[in-house]
Structure 1
Amino acid sequence: MNKVKNVIICGLGAIGTIYAARIADAGNINLKILLDEERIEKYKTNPTVFNNKEYSFDYITGDYCGFNADLIIIATKNSGLMEAVDAVKNFVNENTVFISLLNGISSEDVISSVYGFDKVLYSYYIGHTSTRQGRSIVHDGVYKTVFGEKDNQQLSKNVLKIKEFFDSTGIPYEIPVDMDYSRWWKFLVNVGYNQASAVLNASYGVFQNSERANNLAINLMQEAADLAKAMGVKNTHQLIAQVLDVIKTMLPETRTSMLQDIDAKRQTEVGIFAGYIVESAKKYSIPVPYNKVVLDIISAIDEKNAL
């Protein structure tokens, strides 16, 4: 089994920076950050500061030659996924493994359609939200990478390869037996609380203390759980209860990533949450009224913020 020595991270936002900093601090890994020319110049002029430590990463564009990636971590926004998938083509070889930290439920399918399912592991980031001011990012270190094949009763060579890499770099991780269930669980968190927070302008503390606010999130999640069941995911009746257990532990003052996007007048990712549910539900004739309304509301907020 080939060890991970050469790593590319696509995107250096809040989540990408968490991984870049941890890998850089670990040493002995050849780390490249793949960006466009404009961002490279911006970040060289105004370097990334993570938890009060300045980092000068090795930035490359897709035209860079002579680098064979063992691991490619996609950490862009969903709007940048296709551009990232195309930009890494010069670095992909027979041993390359992809993990995607994007929100939503479909980025792995997009990557696999270009490079093949044998190179892509299902994965997601779960943890406390970072706070960001310019190029300065602060994070409390509470997170993990959940990853694996769809079924991990027996670990594949790619899972073992990434497991060893995470062990060596100190990146927290979990390998669930049923990855399909686990990634839908994360999807429900986003569908319920990211979207409800965006509509209500509410931190987690509001949901912890307001029954009506929390019920909005639950209704959004129930529609997602109904869709998951129709798509063949097992044990979907357990999803919402397990989400609620985690929401109780969140810091009350924390604002979700979608709400932070709205605060900063960035476009949200409502299309991969409510948009995905509304579109997919048509195939199964599942009613999704809450997600339809939320899709309209948040899309209107996005349009307003783009004016």
Structure 2
Amino acid sequence: MEIKTVSIIGLGALGILFGHHLSKKLAKEDLRIIADKNRITKYENNYLYCNDERCNFNYVTPEDICTPADLVIFAVKFNNLKESIEAVKNHIGDKTIILSLLNGITSEELIGQTYGMEKMLYSVAQGMDAVKVGNKLTYDHMGMICFGERKPGILTEKVTVVADFFKGTEVPFEAETDMYKRLWGKFMLNVGVNQTVAIYESNYGEIQIEGEARDTMISAMREVISLSEEEGINLTEEDLDYWLKVLDKLSPNGKPSMRQDLEAKRYSEVDLFAGTVLELGKKYDVPTPVNKKLYERIKYLESMY
């Protein structure tokens, strides 16, 4: 199998970043951006820009009849996942491979319940420092997409097919042999970084240096390590150090998505981060006081909208 057609749903930071890159590597008709009619009208009237380049996307609505895509990429926020699963149905065929770039540790299973887990590859997007303001996205580091099967130690044909496609289109990637642990590692990073930068109303720069904010971030991440042991994932301090090194390479002026959401007075993914931590803490009787404090603070900020 060879990937020739790609459909992307979601034009937040990741959708624009990777969509714009792929639009310069594929024929226009081979890359489809799925959006409802109102969004398409908005995009076509105002345009979208990526590092000052105007995006040239091929938009299709969920109702448009089309041939199934070889690869479908979910790049929506978790709050929009349910409607997005329904919206891609015309793009899913027997041999379609699905990647979810969503934060958290649950989206693959939710998508797989509808389309079959055999179509899913677990994935995370990491290392990018993209900031989206209005219709303009800027970034210094593109980052990469890491993907693989949930079962550790194997590189299946699906993994090889996606790796070959990303290699051919110059998308930075890493084919991971222990992907579920990587997924939990990214979850740990998001729990620390997104929420800490949000409540301190700052940027990556503040948590790249020693101080109260960085201490808060690391404490929140260590609560995820404790929960991972209960789940049999077994993250370690070595994993924490790996993700801190990823963080330290980002532009100090960059901001994670949750900080951008709160600035724009949008509801955030706090239930996906601290909310999940609190649920698992209750399930396993593991204390999670730092995440409880982060959760309460973010919910308070959102209540002020």
TM range (shorter): over 0.9
**2:91 aligned partner, one-letter code:** F
Offset of residue 304 of structure 1: 1.2
**1:270 to 2:278 alignment:** no
Offset of residue 44 of structure 1: 1.1
Offset of residue 239 of structure 1: 2.3
Secondary structure in structure 1 of the residue aligned to 2:105? coil
> Aligned ranges for residues 1-307 of structure 1 at < 5 Å?
2-28=1-27, 30-151=30-151, 153-305=153-305
Number of aligned residue pairs: give it. Answer: 304
Q: Is the 8 A contact 1:78 1:102 kept in 2?
A: yes
Q: Is the 8 A contact 1:181 1:236 kept in 2?
A: no
Offset of residue 141 of structure 1: 4.2
Tell me the distance in 2 between the aligned counterparts of 1:108 and 1:232: 18
Tell me the distance in 2 between the aligned counterparts of 1:244 and 1:6: 35
Tell me the distance in 2 between the aligned counterparts of 1:206 and 1:137: 22
Tell me the distance in 2 between the aligned counterparts of 1:208 and 1:47: 34
Tell me the distance in 1 between the aligned counterparts of 2:137 and 2:5: 25
Gaps of 5+ in 2: none
Q: Give structure 1 regions of 4+ aligned residues with deviation exceeding 6 angstroms.
A: none
Tell me the distance in 1 between the aligned counterparts of 2:240 and 2:298: 23
Q: For the structure 1 residues 232 and 56, does the alpha-carbon distance in structure 2 shift closer, same or farther, using more than 3 Å as the test?
A: same
Task: Give per-residue Cα distances to partners, 1:260-287, cap 9 Å, x unaligned.
Answer: 1111112111010000111122221111
Task: Give per-residue Cα distances to partners, 1:180-221, cap 9 Å, x unaligned.
Answer: 221111111110111111111122222233432211111111
Offset of residue 151 of structure 1: 3.7
**1:24 aligned partner, one-letter code:** S
Offset of residue 152 of structure 1: 5.2
Gaps of 5+ in 1: none
Task: Give per-residue Cα distances to partners, 1:82-114, cap 9 Å, x unaligned.
Answer: 111111112211101110111111111110111
Q: Is the 8 A contact 2:74 2:101 kept in 1?
A: yes
Tell me the distance in 2 between the aligned counterparts of 1:66 and 1:256: 35
Tell me the distance in 1 between the aligned counterparts of 2:152 and 2:223: 27
Q: For the structure 1 residues 41 and 98, does the alpha-carbon distance in structure 2 shift closer, same or farther, using more than 3 Å as the test?
A: same
Task: Give per-residue Cα distances to partners, 1:54-104, cap 9 Å, x unaligned.
Answer: 223111111111321111100011111111111111221110111011111
**1:8 aligned partner, one-letter code:** S
Q: Is the 8 A contact 1:203 1:252 kept in 2?
A: yes
Q: For the structure 1 residues 199 and 89, does the alpha-carbon distance in structure 2 shift closer, same or farther, using more than 3 Å as the test?
A: same
**1:199 aligned partner, one-letter code:** I
Secondary structure in structure 2 of the residue aligned to 1:140? coil
Secondary structure in structure 2 of the residue aligned to 1:146? strand
Secondary structure in structure 1 of the residue aligned to 2:242? helix
Offset of residue 251 of structure 1: 2.4
Tell me the distance in 1 between the aligned counterparts of 2:106 and 2:17: 23
Q: Is the 8 A contact 1:225 1:239 kept in 2?
A: no
When normalised by structure 2's length, the TM-score is 0.95
Secondary structure in structure 2 of the residue aligned to 1:145? strand
**1:27 aligned partner, one-letter code:** L
When normalised by structure 1's length, the TM-score is 0.94
Secondary structure in structure 2 of the residue aligned to 1:214? helix
Q: Is the 8 A contact 1:128 1:250 kept in 2?
A: yes
Tell me the distance in 2 between the aligned counterparts of 1:68 and 1:247: 37
Secondary structure in structure 2 of the residue aligned to 1:68? coil
**1:230 aligned partner, one-letter code:** E
Percent sequence identity is 35
